[in-house]
Structure 1
Amino acid sequence: MQQNIRMDTEALSGKTVAEQLLEQLRIWGVKRMYGVVGDAILGLMDAIAKQDKIQFIAVKHESTAAMMASAEAKLTGGLGVCIATMGPGLGNLLNGLGDAYKDKASVLAITGQAPTDKIGTDYKQYVNQQELIKPLAQYSTLLAHPDAIIKVLNKAMHMSLVKGTVTHLSVPKDMFTRGTKAMPHPKPLLLKGTYHFEAEGLKQAIDIMNLAQRPMILAGVGARNAAKHVETLAEKWGAGLLVSLGAKTILPDTSPNLLGGIGQGGNPYAAQVFTQADVVLLIGDTWWPEGYVPQNARIIQIDYMQENIGKGIPIELGIVGDSATIVPLLVEGVQQSTHTTWKSQWQEMRQKWVQQNEQEGNQTGSPIHPSRIVRAIEKSVQPNAILTLDTGDVTVWMNRNFRSQQQEMLFSGEWRTMGFGLPAALAAKLCMPERQVVAIVGDGGLEMVLADLLTATRYNLQITVIVFNNGYLQMERDKMIVSGFNQEGTDLTNPDFVTLAQACSWNGYRIDSDTKLEEILQQALASNRPALVEVLTAPVVHPETKG
């Protein structure tokens, strides 16, 4: 009887909810969906199988699916989509959705829900999904009628892309196969305007900048499209230039005003000059690490998103707009610097770190010092490589010692979840198969997502994973050591990573001496299969560690 009702409804409308959902996603440019099959989305899976425009990427855990969607959104600026079943399926998505939410990545999650006649009952796996996901999704709704599918889907996609946020649709299990009268809409042509500025309109900012005796610039990922102009402004203004981890690769390390990063893992001497600054210009940046920043400086912040202005930073003047439009006008209006004493101060700190960084990267021994591994990665990867970083000890060592040639980095910025490196690499290779993709991970972080080595095998994704194997949750161990705590729970029970990789049809390599670091890394990077390189790493306490 139920089958007859379904067929009659489809005969009237022609298409099911699942079919129209997929067609609308296709129209908006979605090319793939990440997820795990489950009972409440079987109708959607059937529709996916009947079309060839949107690829379903089957992963081993829903958290991986959500992290891959987040990574795709960060890399492409488009919409990442993940799907899961009800109950534990949505529960497992939450970690990756947390990453997208905190880093303002445009991600849509679609989850199955209990059948319509079981909503609100004691049905297996039922939970109020809107309440469960509420802290992480700016919009979440339950599809209550098949004819509403296009309206709620377009609302979710629009909000996600315009606001850079997570949105969510719950679709009851029986709703996917029901017919709908709703027709897909063309994607609106969105002309993303810029705020119109003239140099005169920025007079207040320029006046503050021209009063500076000790100017500094701190650039974030929002400065990427204005990188060359930022470099020009720093030179004319006589400012030292610092970057957040997200902006580490927007300029080559040889840029003459670039001091490197600030905060744990950055240039250890940068705070000596940054804390003395009297005027600071923030460009597309929300990173303001306590203990490394000036207390009494006049702060100007440029950001395209108004909600970022003054977010945790005591600014004097906020400018809402595109840095690529605003920074050239500041270059035009600011006076040529005559502050030679200040320039000499920050140049001294820059040169001091350049020399020390070179020395740190040349350390020898076995197990291998993390700085030496970073130097080998730096020498081995392509200039346009995509580097995906896990969260932990590898993050701060890469931030400290990696000298960029303008590679692109993906990482979990604000959520800081372990296990991000491998899923991000998988997504990056799917999105940009022509580019070299390298995941740089710790042993503990990789162990959280080990099963998805098989996802690379399944889809023939030729990525390289470099594992810093020091046998510990090293960042936590470092903090416990400097705090005087016992290091309970930080030691790891590790597998043989090489044998495990080979069991997954990867090429596996082990490095236990720095003498063959570059040679073996080059072999792995040239592999015609996914490759894993296990590097036996010295458990060194990072010098910037705080308890």
Structure 2
Amino acid sequence: MPDMQATGSPHSYKTPQQSHPARRTVAQAILELLGLWGVRRIYGVVGDAVFGLIDALAKQNAISFITVKHESVAAMMASAEAKLTGRLAVCLSHMGPGLTNLVTGLGDAFLDKAPVLAITGQAPLNKLGTPYKQSINQQQLVQAVSSYSQSVVHPDAVMESMSHAMYTSIVQRTVSHLSIPSDVFTMLTTAQPYDPPHMPAPLSDPAEMRRVSNLLQSSRQPILLVGNGARSAREPIRRLAETWGCGTVNSYGTVGIVPESHPSMLNGLGEGGNPLLPKLLQKADVVLAIETKWPDEVVPKPFFLVQLAKRPTDSVMLSPSAIWVAGDANIAVPQWIDGLSGYKPNAEWVRQVQECKQAWATQNDKERNRTAVPLYPASVIRVLESHIADDALIALDEGDSTIWFLRNFRANRQNVLLSERWRAMGFGLPAALAAKCCSPDKQVVCITGDGGLGMVMSDLLTASRYGLLITVIVFNNGRLQMEHDKMLMKHLRPEGTEITNPDFVGIAEACGWHGYLAENEDQLEQALIQSRNSDKPVLLNVITAAVAHPDFGSH
């Protein structure tokens, strides 16, 4: 494998040399290249513009084709896989409406910086530029949700274009897109694949590292802010929290990097977070943000802000008091711990952190222990918590169910997948399906609302088709609760927020699942127990109270 710097280009390294290059179809060459770069599955929907690639997929076993019911699900599954693994994920669609459906999931990958390659069919070569059915300017369509998009019209250009697209996705952690005319897939080529790039870990400037170390040493009221990208550095982050005597805070959608039981852990910021945090954070003098940036909408920044990330585009925030450091948390954080040798945490600050933690735990317990029929959402989270494995993968949908989870779930080492910036309703089920594809031996739980599940419900069949034994928890209150409450907050009259739901249990069972109705805690407990050893995917239709989330107050 060539030793190429991350700032290089796929043009700068060599393809394998053969004295008599083999001729094979473009589709076969594409699969060869994807396999070389570590791709093991493609999510998509069949259409005649991609028949050539589908045929090649059917004739090999190295790369699986996961066919879904809707292209938006394919793209969201690719986005979820890329978020979970950090590796390139691929989705495929027909031209025209296939691509427009794909765009919903590509937006999620683009805003959440997940490396995804989208391949779409296009009109045959002799119809390009004509009013051919379903033909549009695909590059123009996807430019808002991609960093690279090209149309490939010659069989010998596919290897180079594919390599450049994948390289862009991996290095920039973004979406790339290729449109390929339908007849090009079956043409012959001798073009050889490019090797995948070597990605050395970024090296921080020693002077900046010392500057940060001195700043951490001088801090008397420190805060540690962690994002999901810091998951691989869980242990050094925990040791830093203990050495530094800081309060530890999760960014939106982050759980389980530092367990909820840890003395420094104060829950999260933003919607679904600890409402007592803003007052404490206004007293901080130094905030170290690892693989995340400070959310400006939460509180002002009277403190020094240090941002550590592998890539500048992931977290950089311009501020007169901000220091940005490029580096791997597994390398940088231990160095800073060494730099804190002899540091004595500020006992008064530790006391204030503990007071904040205890006050929030007391308030949280009151919410979690409320008994009611229909079930109070926080109590559903409490019951669910004892049935989720420490290393489970939890897929969250967008909506009220997510912010109840983030507020009330006391995490250990679980990993969460969610649509962090795109905030796409319907993300939960596709993310859970992708998580189970990637980690078949782990427990995978989807937490969704009735509105979110309704958008992607046909892909319950995808779980049955591929034997993906996931558990879906549906918060069912017959309402788009978040939209309802936000309209009331703005003194508007809610309209269109009351929804009509099917019999979710009946739908699930018709799709080959086990379905359970839970109207009280005992029924919920029993259903969760049965779900752990089920021979089929499981859906729990949990009837929940139509109550406002505490973040949205009383009206």
Letter in 2 for 1:407: Q
Match of 1:148 among 130, 153, 157: 157
1:87 aligned residue (96, 110, 114):
96
Amino acid at match of 1:45: I
Q: Pick one of 339, 364, 367 that aligns with 1:360.
A: 367
Q: Greater shift after overlay, 159-168 or 179-188?
A: 179-188
**CA deviation after TM superposition for structure 1 residue 299, in Å:** 1.2
Q: CA 1:314/1:370 → structure 2, altered by over 3 Å: closer, same or farther?
A: farther
Q: Which letter maps to 1:218?
A: L
How far is 1:308 from its partner?
3.6
Q: 1:314–1:136: structure 2 CA closer, same or farther, 3 Å change rule?
A: farther
Q: What are the ranges of 5 or more consecutive residues in structure 1 without an aligned counterpart?
A: 1-11
Normalised TM-score (structure 1): 0.94
- In the other structure, the counterpart of 1:330 is 336
Most deviating of 319-328 and 413-422: 319-328
Map of 2:510 onto structure 1: 503
Is 1:99 aligned with 2:104?
no
Amino acid at match of 2:32: E
Pick aligned residue for 2:60 from 30, 51, 54: 51
Q: Is the 8 A contact 2:425 2:455 kept in 1?
A: yes
Matched with 2:200 is 192
What is the aligned counterpart of 1:128 among 134, 137, 143? Answer: 137
Structure-2 residue corresponding to 1:7: none
Matches within 5 A, 1:398-409: 398-409=405-416
- Give the aligned partner of residue 13 of structure 2: none
Counterpart in 1 of 2:36? 27
Corresponding residue number in structure 1 for 2:494: 487
Q: In the alignment, which of 522, 542, 552 is matched to residue 535 of structure 1?
A: 542
Cα distance in 2 between the residues matched to 1:106 and 1:308? 12
Code of the residue aligned with 1:73 in structure 2: it is: A
1:457 aligns with 2:467: no
Aligned to 1:301: 307
Contact 1:391/1:445 (8 A) holds in 2: yes
| Corresponding residue of 2:272 | 265
**Conservation of the 8 A alpha-carbon contact between 1:13 and 1:179:** no
**Cα distance change of structure 1 residues 304 and 13 upon mapping to structure 2, 3 Å threshold:** closer
After the TM superposition, which residues 267-416 of structure 1 pair with which residues of structure 2 at under 5 Å, given as runs? 267-290=274-297, 292-311=298-317, 315-334=321-340, 336-416=343-423
TM-score after normalising by structure 2: 0.93
Query: CA separation in 1, counterparts of 2:39 and 2:234?
Result: 29
Match runs of 1:6-17 below 5 Å: 14-17=23-26
- 3-state SS of the aligned residue for 1:51? coil
Q: CA deviation at 1:522?
A: 1.4
Question: Which letter maps to 1:319?
Answer: V
Q: Give the equivalent residue in structure 2 for 1:5.
A: none
Work out whether 1:441 is the aligned partner of 2:448. Answer: yes
1:215 aligned residue: 222
Aligned-residue offset at 1:388: 0.3
Identity value in percent? 48
Query: What SS does the aligned partner of 1:135 have?
Result: helix
Which residue is equivalent to 1:226?
A: 233
Query: How far did residue 234 of structure 1 move?
Result: 2.4
CA offsets 1:460-487 (integer angstroms, 9 cap, x no match) = 1111100000111111111112222111
Provide the C-alpha distance between the structure 1 equivalents of 2:319 and 2:268, rounded to a whole number of angstroms.
18
In 2, Cα distance between the equivalents of 1:182 and 1:479?
A: 55
Name the residue aligned to 1:179. Answer: 188
- Compute the displacement of 1:120 (Å): 1.6
**8 A Cα contact 1:69 1:80, kept in partner:** yes
1:62-73 map, 5 Å: 62-73=71-82
Using the TM superposition, give the Cα deviation of residue 338 of structure 1 relative to its aligned residue in structure 2, in angstroms.
Answer: 4.5
| Cα distance in structure 1, aligned partners of 2:464 and 2:294 | 37
The alpha-carbon deviation at position 241 of structure 1 amounts to 0.9
Q: CA RMSD in A?
A: 1.8
Q: Which residue of 1 aligns with 2:439?
A: 432
Equivalent residue for 1:255? 262
Please list the CA deviations of residues 212-266 of structure 1 after superposition, one character each: whole Å capped at 9, or x if unmatched: 3322111112322222222222232221111113431112111111111112211
Q: What is the distance in 2 between the residues matched to 1:183 and 1:232? A: 48
Residue type of the alignment partner of 1:386: L
Does the CA contact (< 8 Å) of 1:220 and 1:287 recur in 2?
no
Q: 2-side partners of 1:58 and 1:191: how far apart?
A: 31
Q: Is the 8 A contact 1:44 1:176 kept in 2?
A: yes
| Contact 2:201-2:328 at 8 Å conserved across structures | no
1:186 Cα deviation from its structure 2 partner: 3.9
Match for residue 69 of structure 2 among 60, 65, 68: 60
Ranges in structure 2 where 5+ consecutive residues have no aligned partner? 1-20
Moved more, 227-236 or 379-388: 227-236
Query: Structure 1 residue aligned with 2:479, among 467, 472, 483?
Result: 472
- The number of aligned residues is 533
> Which consecutive segments of 4 or more residues in structure 1 shift more than 4 A?
312-315
Letter in 1 for 2:230: A
The CA distance in 2 between the partners of 1:510 and 1:116, in whole Å, is 53
Q: Using the alignment, how far apart are the partners of 1:207 and 1:14 within structure 2?
A: 60
Shift of 1:315: 4.3
Change (3 A) 1:31 1:537: same
Contact 2:93 2:120 in 1 (8 A): yes
Helix, strand or coil at the partner of 1:466: strand
